[in-house]
């Protein structure tokens, strides 16, 4: 495991402390921009996620023999993420982006942002926006 020399700072908590609770879907996209800006990244695809991990003092995601999932936010207090070892490189990268989004939802208060059932598929897509949006402006 490669650990940053910086002290860990929960990205979701850092975002919410600066911008407040999530109120609408656009706030989630703002988190994507926040991660890039904080790590000194521009909006050119493909985004190298390593500077984000370093900036927030997160360990590099570990590859593990996961059976039922592509990735797991194992410990939000340390930023530890597991990624399925036998997935393709492209799938692993997608999963890393997804787990970075999970850190935002982990930090959100339970009574805050809520998507309606009609937007449930959108929520899944938004959680994956880190990778998907990267093809447009990330």
Q: Sketch the domain layout of the chain as residue ranges.
A: 11-135
pLDDT tens readout for residues 8-61: 999 999 999 999 999 899 999 999 999 999 999 998 888 899 999 999 999 999
Positive or negative, the CA dihedral 130, 62, 12, 33 is negative
C-alpha dihedral (60, 61, 62, 63), degrees to nearest 10: -130
Q: Which two tokens stand for residue 59?
A: 């360990």
User: 11-135 adopts what CATH topology?
Assistant: Arc Repressor Mutant, subunit A (1.10.10)
pTM of this structure: 0.76
Quote the strand ranges of the chain, DSSP E.
62-64, 71-75, 80-84
- Render pLDDT for 78-122 as a digit per residue (tens, 0 to 9): 999 999 999 999 999 999 999 999 999 999 876 444 544 334 344
Residue appearing with tokens 């207090």: 77
What average pLDDT score do residues 109-138 get? 42
What per-residue confidence (pLDDT) applies to 5?
56
> What is the DSSP secondary structure assignment for residue 127, as one 8-state letter?
H
């Amino acid at each position: 495991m490669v650990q940053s020399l910086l002290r860990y700072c929960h990205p979701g908590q850092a975002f919410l402390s600066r911008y407040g609770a999530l109120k609408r879907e656009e706030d989630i996209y703002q988190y994507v921009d926040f991660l890039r800006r904080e790590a000194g990244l521009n909006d050119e695809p493909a985004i190298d996620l390593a500077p984000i991990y370093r900036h927030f003092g997160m360990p590099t995601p570990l590859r593990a023999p996961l059976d039922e999932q592509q990735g797991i936010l194992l410990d939000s207090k340390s930023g530890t993420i597991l990624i399925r070892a036998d997935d393709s490189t492209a799938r692993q990268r997608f999963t890393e982006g997804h787990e970075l989004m999970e850190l935002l939802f982990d930090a959100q208060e339970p009574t805050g942002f809520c998507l309606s059932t009609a937007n449930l598929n959108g929520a899944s897509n938004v959680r994956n926006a880190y990778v998907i949006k990267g093809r447009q402006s990330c």
